[in-house]
Copies of this chain bind each other. A is one copy, B any other.
Amino acid sequence: MSISVKILGSNAASFAYNRHHTSQIIEVDNKHFMVDCGESTQLQAKKYNVKLSKINHILISHLHGDHYYGLLGLLSTMQLYGRKQALSLIGPPGLSEIITIQLKHSKTVFNFPIELTEWKEGVQELLVDLPKLTIKSIPMKHSIPCAGFLFEEKPNFRRINKDYLTETLNPLEIKQLKSGIDVLHEDGSTKYSNEKFTFPPKKHHSYAFCSDTKYDEELIKWIRGVDLLYHEATFMDEMKERAYLTFHTTAKQAGCIATAARVGKLTIGHFSTRYKDLSPLLREVKTEFENAHLALEGRIFEINE
């Protein structure tokens, strides 16, 4: 399996230099998840060939407009395109109220069920549990309730090495070997040793989306060892005072978090409009964590090693 992350928006607060508000498409096992949905996300989705019909989960990190003002428009477009299948919508406390009031005044009833879940602030919760994947919330420290999202593939089974097999395995034996157990004869002696007849499982991958947050070392325990970390980096470190006051992070601080959490790769986004040229932010983050990249519109980060 693999995880891919497609960036639809990289800018903070306002639109500038063709940079849009936060939104990403995460694809795992042919399932598509949207994380955040700033204004005009549906236009970005069209631009970058995202099929809305494939999205069955939308996760919203917090209720600042640059992270969700495109949501109602996106849902309306899904309705216009004839959507029937259920949509799981996961967001902050208050999202239900905001949606309900707007639908009430427009007298809109969607033709597809929306299963709306509001996550709890400040704790980690299991939000999505699929056969091959879990998504958990990650508590963020922002000016309003805010969560990140941890995508984790479930551990894979061991793979059977057919080179040594002289006979056909029955389903129970296959299951035992894949689960890492030796297959025994009735007398208790070993029939197939797991070590000999299986390869290790393929690596399972993980991605952490860390939304708007101040520099927060408590975050490290939630994201330790992920293959890919998205972390906001609104400012350069020379503005760390402003970052602190506005509950945001600097590029250097994002790099420190990545290093401390020993992640595989880092991508940064949510750039302040004051930075037309983003290369100084990239240089700065790399002083702390070399394998760092800009989360720019249209970029796809593949996790499959």
Binding site for B on A (CB under 8 A): 13-15, 39-40, 42-43, 46, 63-66, 69-70, 72-73, 76-77, 80-81, 92, 94-95, 97-98, 101-102, 104-107, 143-144, 273
Contacts and interface: CB of A to CB of B under 8 A. Distances in A.
Nearest to A46: B15
Contacts of A97: 101, 105
Given A94-B105, A106-B63, A106-B65, A15 B42 contact: yes
B39 A15 contact: no
Contact of A73 (B63, B65, B98, B101): B65
A247 B13 CA distance: 36
Contacts of A143: 107
Contact of A40 (B40, B98, B102, B104): B40
Contacts of A105: 63, 92, 94-95, 97-98, 144
Contacts of A14: 76-77, 80-81
A72 B65 contact: yes
A46 to B, nearest CB: 7
A160 B282 CA distance: 68
Contacts of A63: 102, 105-106
13 contacts: A13-B76, A13-B80, A15-B77, A39-B70, A39-B73, A65-B76, A65-B106, A66-B76, A69-B72, A69-B73, A98-B105, A106-B144, A107-B143
Nearest to A76: B65
A276 to B, nearest CB: 15
Contacts of A92: 105
B102 A98 contact: yes
Contacts of A13: 76, 80
A40 to B, nearest CB: 4
A102 to B, nearest CB: 6
A145 to B, nearest CB: 9
Given A39-B42, A65-B72, A92-B105, 5 more contacts: A39-B70, A65-B106, A98-B101, A105-B144, A107-B144
A65 B78 CA distance: 13
Nearest to A93: B105
B72 A43 contact: no
